[in-house]
Structure 1
């Protein structure tokens, strides 16, 4: 599993015009089963996305496709972790540590 932390690199007044395209990008990745949760940070200086994929390279490719990235208004910090414990509703995402 991956935590995708995006941080705005431009003022919010440059971010907001790209928001509809960003939301459409999010919706498409939710439909593909890649994203499982997302939202704005508070204070509003970026956001967080929880994602699942086979490898980090795929997540980096996905992040590069964010309209916020192509619009030059955010950067990503990607953290991979093993979700060894989850709420029951997220049991399909549980992972085992490598041997």
Structure 2
């Protein structure tokens, strides 16, 4: 499993130009369960995603298609981890070893 942080590399007014395309991109990945969670950082300096286990190269390929990245307004940082403890109802996340 992966935690992905998004950091804006351009002013918000430039990021906002690409927000609709980025939102469509996120919705497509979430509908395909290639991302599980996506949200904004507080304060708004970027975002955070939770991605299921997959080959790291596959995740890198998906992230490279982000409209924010394609248009030079954001960068991603990826941390891979193994979920060991989960809240009730989220036990399925542990099977992604």
C-alpha distance in 1, partners of 2:76/2:90?
24
CA RMSD of the aligned region, Å?
1.4
Aligned twin of 2:22: 22
Q: In structure 2, what is the Cα distance between the partners aligned to 1:71 and 1:84?
A: 37
Q: Unaligned regions of 5+ residues in structure 1, if any?
A: none
> So what's the TM-score if we normalise by structure 1?
0.91
TM-score scaled to structure 2, two decimals?
Answer: 0.93
Moved more, 84-93 or 47-56: 84-93
Match of 1:36 in 2: 36
Distance (Å, rounded) in 2 between the aligned partners of 1:53 and 1:26:
17
Say whether the 8 Å CA contact 1:35–1:49 is kept in structure 2.
yes
Assess, with a 3 A threshold, how the Cα gap between structure 1 residues 10 and 94 changes in structure 2: closer, same or farther. Answer: same
What SS does the corresponding residue of 1:75 show, helix, strand or coil?
Answer: strand
CA offset digits 1:20-74 (Å, max 9, x no partner): 1001000011111111111111111100000013211111111101000001000
Q: Which residue of 2 aligns with 1:67?
A: 67
The reply on whether 1:11 has 2:11 as its aligned counterpart is yes
CA distance in 2, matches of 1:90, 1:39: 19
Aligned residues: 97
| Gapped regions of structure 2 (runs ≥ 5) | none
